[in-house]
């Protein structure tokens, strides 16, 4: 099955879920219809959701919806990445039972999608609009992602509140990040100054990873850790300052969300 057919099939499934939800709770019919059923595909629905999350003023909201919908049409890869994020959240976060719940209620998912629209705007030179999306996402959701950062797909932000991702940070595919995590710099230095998080990494709640350092593939950063030095692949680190304490039980900790650790 081609990616476009798969996306169409997934969207049909999401629409059926919305119809079923209306049958169970008619009071939500206007919201579900406006958010999902009036749209032909995920990209248009995300443009609507993100715009309405970002804006209070109705005129500005509608202008932004049109702008982001046009962006989605010209960049179909954005929606494909969103599907990967949606599935990642369903599979890793036990708080949500379905794609519909993630789409409607996961602010971590919504914050990632706001970034996914701000990032190409930044690359295309639309700096002011990209920074506007970043700032409003921070105000509305408490998630601050610089639009110049580079984030792969299959990403899950659990809860999302308090996550900060700096300008030159890199997050590869299949990474899970919990609330209050910072991928930051170490001061006023310029240039490449933020962490590089490789595939399959899980970063626990409240962890601070500072500077242009690499968190190796399949590593695990314990909750509350302060990481100032590179972390080797498939290594668990904890503490302030963080120190290696063992090896994750799984090759890609992000996929299983096992936050325990065994000390060597």
Q: How many angstroms separate the Cα of 196 from the Cα of each of 30, 138, 192, 200, 229?
A: 42, 22, 10, 12, 12
Q: What pLDDT, on the 0 to 100 scale, is given for residue 5?
A: 81
Contacts of 190 (CB under 8 A, 6+ apart): none
134 and 183 housed in the same domain:
no
Calpha distance 156→31 (Å, rounded):
25
Domain that holds residue 244: 149-263
Same-domain status, 160 and 138? no
Specify whether 11 is located in the same domain as 73.
Answer: yes
What pLDDT is attached to residue 1?
A: 62
Please tell me whether residues 165 and 75 are part of one structural domain. no
Strand ranges in the chain using DSSP code E only, listed in sequence order: 144-145, 150-151, 156-157, 164-165, 170-171, 176-177, 182-184, 196-197, 202-203, 208-210, 214-215, 220-221, 226-227, 236-238, 243-246
Are 156 and 243 found together in one domain? yes
Closest CA to 151 of 75, 225, 78: 78
* pLDDT for the residue 3: 76
Same domain, 195 and 136: no
* Whole-angstrom distance, CA of residue 163 vs CA of residue 93: 17
Q: Please count the other Cβ atoms lying within 10 Å of the Cβ belonging to residue 59.
A: 8
Shared domain for 60 and 34, answered yes or no, is yes
Cis peptide leading into 146, omega within 30 of 0? no
pLDDT at 190: 82
Q: Are residues 114 and 159 in the same domain?
A: no
Domain total for the chain?
2
Query: Which CATH number fits the domain that encloses residue 67?
Result: 1.10.3130.10
Per-residue pLDDT of 161-193, as tens digits, reads 999 999 999 999 999 999 999 999 987 778 999
d(C-alpha 82, C-alpha 252), whole Å: 20
SS3 helix, strand, coil % of the chain, rounded to 5?
45, 15, 40
Of 74, 108, 142, the position where a domain reaches its end is 142
Tell me the C-alpha to C-alpha distance, in Å, between residue 90 and each of 94, 97, 98, 123: 7, 7, 6, 30
CATH value at residue 215: 2.160.10.10
Q: Indicate the residue among 111, 127, 142 that finishes a domain.
A: 142
CB 86 within 8 A of CB 109: yes
Please tell me whether residues 157 and 58 are part of one structural domain.
no
Report, as ranges of residue numbers, the positions in the chain whose pLDDT lies below 70: 1, 262-264
What is the distance between the alpha carbons of residues 138 and 161, in angstroms, rounded to a whole number? 9
131 and 7 share one domain? yes
Q: Both 55 and 71 in a single domain?
A: yes
How confident is the model at residue 129, as a pLDDT? 97
Tell me, what's the pLDDT at 77?
Answer: 94
Q: What is the largest CA-CA distance in the chain?
A: 59
How confident is the model at residue 6, as a pLDDT?
Answer: 83
State the angle between helix axes of 107-123 and 127-141 in degrees (0 to 180), rounded to the nearest 10. Answer: 170
């Amino acid at each position: 099955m081609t990616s476009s057919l798969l996306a169409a099939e997934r969207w049909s499934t999401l629409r059926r879920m919305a119809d079923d939800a209306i049958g169970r709770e008619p009071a939500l019919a206007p919201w579900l219809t406006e958010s999902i059923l009036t749209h032909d595909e995920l990209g248009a629905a995300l443009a609507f959701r993100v715009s309405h999350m970002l804006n209070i003023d109705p005129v500005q909201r509608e202008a932004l919806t049109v702008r982001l919908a046009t962006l989605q049409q010209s960049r179909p890869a954005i929606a494909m990445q969103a599907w990967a994020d949606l599935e990642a959240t369903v599979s890793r976060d036990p708080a949500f039972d379905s794609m519909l719940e993630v789409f409607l209620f996961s602010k971590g998912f919504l914050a990632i999608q706001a970034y996914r629209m701000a990032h190409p705007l930044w690359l295309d030179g639309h700096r002011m609009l990209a920074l506007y999306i970043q700032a409003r996402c921070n105000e509305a959701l408490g998630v601050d992602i610089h639009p110049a950062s580079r984030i792969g797909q299959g990403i899950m932000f659990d809860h999302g509140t308090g996550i900060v991702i700096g300008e030159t940070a890199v997050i590869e595919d299949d990474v899970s990040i919990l609330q209050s995590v910072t991928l930051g710099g170490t001061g006023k230095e310029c240039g490449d100054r933020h962490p590089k998080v490789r595939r399959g990494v899980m970063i626990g709640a409240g962890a601070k990873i500072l500077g242009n350092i690499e968190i190796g593939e399949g590593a695990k950063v314990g909750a509350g850790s302060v990481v100032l030095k590179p972390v080797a692949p498939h290594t668990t680190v904890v503490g302030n300052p963080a120190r290696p304490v063992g090896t994750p039980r799984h090759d890609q900790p992000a996929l299983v969300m096992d936050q325990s650790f065994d000390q060597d």
